[in-house]
Amino acid sequence: MEFISKELAQYCENHTSAETPLLSSLNRETHLKVISPRMLSGHLQGRFLSFISKLKQPKLIIEIGTYTGYSALCLAEGLAKDGKLISLDVNEETSSFAQSFISQSPHAIQIQLITADAKDYIKNFEEKIDLVFIDADKKNYLTYYNLIIDKLNAGGLVIADNVLWSGKITMQEDIMDRETLALHEFNKYVQQDARVENMLLPIRDGLMVIQKK
């Protein structure tokens, strides 16, 4: 489901800062060579992630779901000089593809790709986190959120992708499929969580932006 017309979406991109040449190449190669290229964050969302990261200047970013590395490269643009980004994914093939582009980035030394189940990795993670981007299996969004929220610094951010799920999120609960229902439960949980402030934005497939109090 398109939330705005293609013409208006293109207008937004035309009046948004351009992708870097590396991101443009990654965007093109993902669509040519990788299954499900719709999973790529893309121009508008990527610039939003970069913008937020630059405002926050995080020392530690955790990304749950690497795919081909587009969002990692965007988020890394705002890292503090001594900051790092850890991106977690279970898919070795797409992570290898991502690494081939990340190695070309000026931020490459700050980005670490780890092939691991994020649930297991975060459970044992002890460092305090400044920014988290969740873009992985939808049924575990709430699990990821509960694992990271106590590890997040006060004022830290969580950004969750796909929370409008092509508009299916507005369906009646009793006819929602498993993934839609999981995202709906996540959205409701965050809305009622007194530990945070949140805003659901209709950018691309929906971004829930959450700040810990």
pLDDT tens for 4-26 read 788 998 999 999 999 999 999 99
Asked if pLDDT for residue 212 goes beyond 90, the answer is yes
Q: What's 25-78 look like in SS3?
A: HHHHHHHHHCCCHHHCCHHHHHHHHHHHHHHHCCCEEEEECCCCCHHHHHHHCC
pLDDT digits (tens, 9 = 90+) for 158-184: 999 999 999 999 999 999 999 999 999
Q: Which of 161, 164, 126 is nearest to 147 (CA)?
A: 126
Using DSSP, state whether 156 is helix, strand or coil.
strand
The pTM (predicted TM-score) of the whole model is: 0.96
pLDDT digits (tens, 9 = 90+) for 29-50: 999 998 888 888 999 999 999 9
pLDDT digits (tens, 9 = 90+) for 120-140: 999 999 999 999 999 999 999
Q: How far is CA 54 from CA 57, 66, 79, 115, 152, in A?
A: 5, 20, 7, 26, 18
Taking each helix axis from N to C end, the angle separating 21-33 and 92-102, rounded to the nearest 10 degrees, works out to 150
Cα 176–chain centre separation: 23
CA–CA separation, 43 vs 53, rounded Å?
Answer: 15
